[in-house]
Structure 1
Amino acid sequence: MSIVTRNNLMFPSLMNEFFKPDWFGGSENYAATLPAVNIKEDDTGFHLELAIPGKKKDDFNVEIDNDIFTISMETKTADEKTEENYTRKEFSYTSFKRSFTLPETVNSEKIKAAYTDGILSFDLPKKEEALPKPKRLIEIGK
Structure 2
Amino acid sequence: MKTVLRNYDNLNSFPAFFNELFGEQSAAKFNKNVPAANIKETEDSFGIELVAPGFKKEAFKVEVHERNLTISAEEKNETEEKTETFLRKEYSFGSFTRSFRLPNTVDSDKIEATYEDGVMQVTIPKKEEAKPKEPKLISIN
TM-score of the aligned structures, taking structure 1 as reference length: 0.76
Structure 2: which 5+ residue stretches go unaligned? 1-19
Higher RCO structure, 1 or 2 (CA under 8 Å, sep 6+): 2
Cα displacement string for residues 57-115 of structure 1 (whole angstroms, at most 9, x for unaligned residues) = 11101111111100011111111101001111111111100001111001001111111
Q: Percent identity?
A: 46
Residue 118 (structure 2) pairs with residue 118 (structure 1): yes
Partners of 2:59 and 2:49 lie apart in 1 by 16
Residue 58 (structure 2) pairs with residue 58 (structure 1): yes
Aligned to 1:13: none
8 A contact 2:37–2:51 mirrored in 1 = yes
Aligned to 2:136: 136
Length, aligned pairs only? 119
Structure 1: which 5+ residue stretches go unaligned? 7-19, 22-29
Q: Which runs of 4+ in 1 moved over 3 A?
A: 1-6
8 A contact 2:55–2:73 mirrored in 1 = no
Deviation of 1:4 (Å): 8.8
Partners of 1:126 and 1:48 lie apart in 2 by 14
Two-structure CA RMSD over aligned residues (Å): 2.1
Aligned to 1:93: 93
Q: 1:126 to 1:85 in 2, by over 3 A?
A: same
Cα displacement string for residues 32-74 of structure 1 (whole angstroms, at most 9, x for unaligned residues) = x210010001211101100112222111011111111000111
TM-score of the aligned structures, taking structure 2 as reference length: 0.77
Amino acid at match of 1:125: P
3-state secondary structure, aligned to 1:99: strand
Structure with higher Rg: it is 1
